[in-house]
Amino acid sequence: MTDDVPIGAETGAQSGLRLLVVDDSVDDFDLLVRVLRKAGIEPQATRVGSEPELREALSDGRWDVAVVDHVIPGYSGPQALQLLQSQAPDLAVVVVSGKVDEEVIAGDLRLGADDYVFKSGLSRLVPAIEQARQAAAGRRDRRGAEEALRASEARYRRVVEGTSEGLLELDAEYRIVTVNDRWLEMMGYGRADVLGRRVHDFLFEEDLPDLKANIELRRRGIAGRHERRFRRADGSELWAVISAVPKTAGDEAFDGVVALWLDITAQKGAQKTVADQERYYRSLIHSLHEDVLVIDHDYRITDINNMALHTLGVSREEAIGRRCHEVSHRVDSPCHEHGERCGLREVFASGEACNCHHVHRTADGSVVHVDILMAPLRDEDGTVSRVIEAARDVTDLFVAQEALGEHAERLRRTVEGAVDAMGSVVEMRDPYTAGHERRVTCLAVEIAQRLGLDEQRVEGLRLAGSVHDIGKIAVPAEILSKPGRLQEYEMNLVRTHAQVGHDVLAAIDFEQPVAEIVLQHHEKLDGSGYPGGLRGDEILLEARILTVADVVEAMSSHRPYRAALGMSAALAEIRAGAGTRYDAGAVAACEAAIADGFTFAPER
């Protein structure tokens, strides 16, 4: 058995330290509690004396510290320490024992104890517990840091191996420390053939001076993008476009380089002159289905592909040299001066790529919606000199989304019309409660908004409130309009309306749980409601709100079997049941709404 001691119940002190004591002696347990109380600590303490009890306590509760007696008849302290180490390795543990030698203490510490206190010196118990908790917190921090490091390394490895480009990581001496499979494939080497070798070993002799010049730039912290040829394993040339970024240590000292290689061997063979390179570049951007523009710091277009010329309805002569806003937007000033987002400025400022949505206008005034990816183009020294943007025409998608939104709005209005029609059916069959659902809905929505429910949940509550009595269509009209109190069998018929209402509404695909709210609107927190006898949080918050609004409206309004009891009586009823029958938050919000002037006037 476990001794659950509600420490503080007699004194009225507030509970504090959550203490698990592994000890067979109740007297020793009481002594530990007294020592802590004397130190001003009011623990929530539990004693266990066997392995099953310890396992149960570890599975059922969260503990701040465990105090373990070294000697436990039938179950030793070391056994308890081993279980604690395997089941709760981050829990602070203090061993308490009589006189033992240093070897025993060392053994307990090796098994996971954070500190050791002799029973003859329990004055050390409080500092020992604090030291143990600090040690446990350190373990948790280290574990979290190790897990984060492993996750970071795993993410890095996935990125390294998942890229379509060769990746090479060099140390400060330009020795290879990491390569990905793509780099090995490009160069024709095995991993063991290259790790630890300097990158110089893979260059041609005449290219080494240029490498040294680039190394100097990297040591100065300057990233770069350049072309270079390398010697493959079979002796052939590999041309690559290399994006090299320097690494720095914590003191900003040069720590090495990370480089991405894009194999351009095939292209290089066909690009013997500057004109060849220019033709390749143009063929690349002109082959894209996106609109591609290259823009400088002054917003001027320095290049544009055929697709963009066609989309914007301009010639190359009309576009090159003009500012992008003049060609794309047909305005005289940049986007940001009109209060619109300017991705171009963002890329120049941050040096990072970005995505944005723009509206372009063609020469004939047509509107084109485009999604744009903008990326920096850097010079040899790493300066962002231009931005390349690729714009994809999403006009059809934009129009389709607008149409979908209009369709959704029409559907919403249709659903609301159906809900209003169903509410009218109830009012026609039950004239004494005509307008009841509308009034209940007004109050329920007011309560929900005061409780901070989001718009979607408030809308679901509004729909449910509008038809919460729809199930009364299954109740004979003579019972609904009967003056005086109903017989028990008649009340049972009336009580079926919540389930019937749910069954009617369940077939309608509302975005919110409208049918469930209707089903539960007569449930009470204490389980005394119907039809399910639900309790507490088993009842949807929207249903709990609707219950409060329903009670207030019903009591304050006239009924066939009685005159209106008035708002004071209605508020007294929900106040008396707050926290037991009715949701306390909903009751408080209802009272505040009434106090602020809410009424059931028709205009509400």
Note the pLDDT tens digit of each residue in 289-309: 788 889 898 889 989 888 888
Q: What share of the chain is helix, strand, coil (3-state, %, to 5)?
A: 50, 20, 30
Helices (H), 235-329: 265-270, 274-287, 306-312, 316-319, 324-328
Find where tokens 């659902």 sit: 437
Higher pLDDT, 371 or 518: 518
pTM recorded for the entire structure: 0.38
pLDDT of 138 strictly over 50: yes
pLDDT of 332 strictly over 90: no
Q: Say if CB 17 and CB 126 are below 8 A apart.
A: no
Q: Token pair of 597, please?
A: 């002037």
pLDDT of 582 strictly over 90: yes
Mean pLDDT, all residues of the chain? 83
Q: What confidence score (pLDDT) does residue 4 get?
A: 42
Q: What confidence score (pLDDT) does residue 269 get?
A: 67
Peptide bond into 246 cis (omega under 30): no
Q: Token pair of 314, please?
A: 């301009």
SS3 of residue 206 by DSSP: helix
Percent of the chain with pLDDT over 90: 36
Find where tokens 């013997």 sit: 272
Please write the tens of the pLDDT for every residue from 383-418.
898 988 888 877 777 776 666 556 555 555 656 656
Strands of 433-569 (E only): list them.
none
Spell out the residues 6+ positions from residue 373 whose beta carbon is closer than 8 angstroms to its own.
Answer: 353, 354, 355, 389, 390
Please write the tens of the pLDDT for every residue from 201-216.
999 999 999 999 989 9
For the ranges 30-44, 88-102, 251-265, 542-556, which has the lowest average pLDDT?
251-265
Mean pLDDT value across residues 354-368: 78
CA angle 185, 189, 191 (to 5 degrees): 95
Mean pLDDT value across residues 370-377: 86
Find where tokens 């104890």 sit: 113
What is the biggest distance separating any 2 CA atoms in the chain, rounded to whole angstroms? 109
Please state, in angstroms and rounded to a whole number, the distance separating the CA atoms of residues 233 and 239.
14
Q: Token pair of 101, please?
A: 């030698």
Q: What confidence score (pLDDT) does residue 204 get?
A: 92
**Number of helices (H), then strands (E), in the chain:** 24, 16
Interstrand relation of 65-69 and 18-22 (parallel, antiparallel or unpaired): parallel
DSSP class of 450: H
Q: What confidence score (pLDDT) does residue 274 get?
A: 53
Q: How many CB atoms lie within 10 A of CB 125?
A: 22
Q: What confidence score (pLDDT) does residue 325 get?
A: 84
Please state, in angstroms and rounded to a whole number, the distance separating the CA atoms of residues 288 and 545.
57
SS3 of residue 197 by DSSP: coil
Please state, in angstroms and rounded to a whole number, the distance separating the CA atoms of residues 386 and 383.
9
Domains along the chain? Answer: 3-141 (3.40.50.2300), 163-270 (3.30.450.20), 281-393 (3.30.450.20), 409-595 (1.10.3210.10)
Please write the tens of the pLDDT for every residue from 62-72.
899 999 998 88
Q: Is residue 492 within a helix (H) or strand (E), and if so which, with residue range?
A: helix 488-495
Q: At what angle do helices 26-38 and 125-162 cross, to 10 degrees?
A: 90
pLDDT confidence band for 9 (50 / 70 / 90):
very low
Q: Token pair of 34, please?
A: 């007294």
**Distance spanning both ends of the chain, measured CA to CA:** 61
pLDDT confidence band for 275 (50 / 70 / 90):
low
CA angle 597, 600, 601 (to 5 degrees): 90
Q: Token pair of 547, please?
A: 């219950």
Q: What confidence score (pLDDT) does residue 187 get?
A: 93
